[in-house]
Amino acid sequence: MSKKVLIFSESFGLGHERAASALIRSMQIIEPNVQVMHTNSIKRTFPKLTKAFLNIYLQVITNLPHLWHRIYENGRKSSINDSSKKAVYRLLVGSIKRTIEEFRPDIIVCTHPFPAAVICKLKHQGLNIPLVGIITDYDVHGYWLDSFVDMYIIGDKKLEADFDRYKFEPKLISSSGIPIDPLFTERKTKEQARELMGIQAEHPVVTVAGGGWGLGDLGKIAQKIVDIPEKPQVIIITGTNYQLQRSLCRTFKREPNIIVKGLISNIHEYMQASDVMVTKPGGLTTSEALATGLPMVLFDVIYGQEVWNARFLTEQNAAVKCNSFDDIFVVVRDILLTPETGKRLSVNAKAAGKPDSGIAAAKSILELAV
């Protein structure tokens, strides 16, 4: 009989859902008959209000980033967070309980701590289904911690020390990496990727990205990069920010060295074709860049989980964090002009990267399924 896997994610940033999608694709490779249900607990509970919730979250992280950072850090100081978890439980328990009863899974996976908190409470009340928590940033936040989580999947073995900081001992930890699409296991040289993408081989290539939501002044960054003496080709990836994509397409329609893309399914090929990536430090995007061995230049590192992602990446010497707008171009030029700088960052990125993290996570989950 095929195993049934229920995956909960949320839309607060695209990374949680992209990790779930990577996991599904990986499980289907390992066990083609697996039955998977992927759902969003907030969207199921409040279908008419989800967009409003996301807009509020987006407004906070873009206009009040220091407030969000304070909220994140306060939750990071404790493994309890009882009052917040009780509120989330009351809001989401009905929808989550119905989903479990209808699908009757062999195992439950959460890529966001909200549904995980609810399911832990249900397990305390008698629910007997293994629960896996996938932490999609390079930081273990206190909100995730609960003795009813049967296995945590984390981005790197170095993060195991974060559990010690809370004096919390998990049942199982897999440090196989944040799950990324198994397409990242496909190896192409930079030249092969450029030929496939129709990108000129004789110019350096810089990818500029603002995460799944296309945050940051991507157009301004791209314009300044394309004007540097090395005349690189610049690829802007706006993710789901289609309004920004349309605007930048109009702005750069006469600029042959700037390519504007929205949400794309072949990000692995664009990364393989690039010399450097200028990006916000989201957990999924940076995991993909590590897997590709792509040097990263990090911008807008000002709030919450991205501060800790940036810290991890710079400690691996796989990325350079920029503290000002002008720093971006100084660092990009240094990487393009100094081969040993780019090579050092690339080698370190590959050493920290886990291109098979999706497959590894899928294997661990399917083995744990009853």
- 121-132 residue pLDDT tens: 999 999 999 999
- Residue 318 sits in the same domain as residue 261: yes
d(Cα 198, Cα 134) in Å, to the nearest integer? 36
Tokens of 151: 């296995």
- Tokens representing residue 227 in the block: 């004007």
Compute the distance between CA of residue 227 and CA of residue 230 in angstroms, rounded to an integer: 8
pTM: 0.93
Question: Does one domain contain both 228 and 111?
Answer: no
State whether 108 and 46 are in the same domain.
Answer: yes
pLDDT tens column, 311-347: 999 999 999 999 888 999 999 999 999 999 999 999 9
The pLDDT, as a whole number, for residue 51 is: 77
> Rounded to the nearest 5°, which phi and psi values hold at 207?
-95, 135
| Interatomic CA distance for residues 354 and 156, integer angstroms | 9
Tokens standing for residue 273: 């074709």
Contact in structure between 209 and 299 (CB atoms under 8 Å): no
Q: Report the mean per-residue pLDDT for the chain.
A: 92
Q: What is the pLDDT of residues 32-49, one digit of tens each?
A: 999 999 999 888 888 777
Measured distance CA(23)–CA(178) in Å, rounded: 10
One domain for residues 158 and 202: no
Q: What percent of the chain has pLDDT over 90?
A: 71
345 within 8 A of 317, measured Cβ to Cβ: yes
As for how many domains the chain has, the answer is 2
Query: Which residues share a beta bridge with 108?
Result: 6, 131
| Same-domain check for residues 195 and 143 | no
Residue 33 belongs to domain spanning: 4-180+356-368
Are 194 and 273 part of one and the same domain? yes
Determine the pLDDT at residue 80: 65
Report the candidate in 251, 272, 274, 248 with the shortest Cα–Cα distance to residue 261: 248
Amino acid at 160: E
Note the pLDDT of residue 360.
98
pLDDT tens for 133-144 read 999 999 999 999
Stretch 279-284: mean pLDDT: 94
Tell me: do 239 and 264 sit in the same domain.
yes
Q: What share of the chain has pLDDT > 70, as a percent? A: 99
126 touches 334 (CB < 8 A): no
3-class DSSP state of 263? coil
**Is residue 214 located within the same domain as residue 317?**
yes
Instruction: Report the relative pairing of strands 233-237 and 258-261 from DSSP bridges.
Output: parallel
- pLDDT for position 185: 94
Do 71 and 45 fall into the same domain? Answer: yes
Show the CA angle centred on residue 290, arms to residues 309 and 73, nearest 5°.
5
**Residue 201 and residue 266 in one domain:** yes
**Residues 6+ away with beta carbon under 8 Å from 305:** 72, 137, 139, 141, 283
Give me the pLDDT at residue 293, please: 97
- Is residue 160 located within the same domain as residue 309? no
198, burial (CB in 10 Å: exposed 0-12, middle 13-18, buried 19+): exposed
Alpha-carbon Rg for the chain in angstroms: 21
Taking every pair of C-alpha atoms in the chain, what is the biggest distance, in angstroms?
65
Which of 42, 150, 31, 15 minimizes the C-alpha distance to 99? 42
Task: Tell me the two tokens of residue 131.
Answer: 């629960």
What is the domain-level CATH number for residue 346? 3.40.50.2000
CA separation for the pair 60, 66 (Å, rounded): 9
* Tens-place pLDDT, residues 67-78: 888 888 888 877
Looking at the fold, whether 220 and 323 belong to one and the same domain comes out as yes
Fill in the DSSP letter of residue 79.
Answer: S
pLDDT digits (tens, 9 = 90+) for 56-111: 777 777 788 888 888 888 888 776 667 888 888 999 999 999 999 999 999 999 99
The pLDDT of residue 212 is 80
204-254: pLDDT as tens digits: 999 999 888 888 899 999 999 998 888 899 999 998 889 999 999 999 999
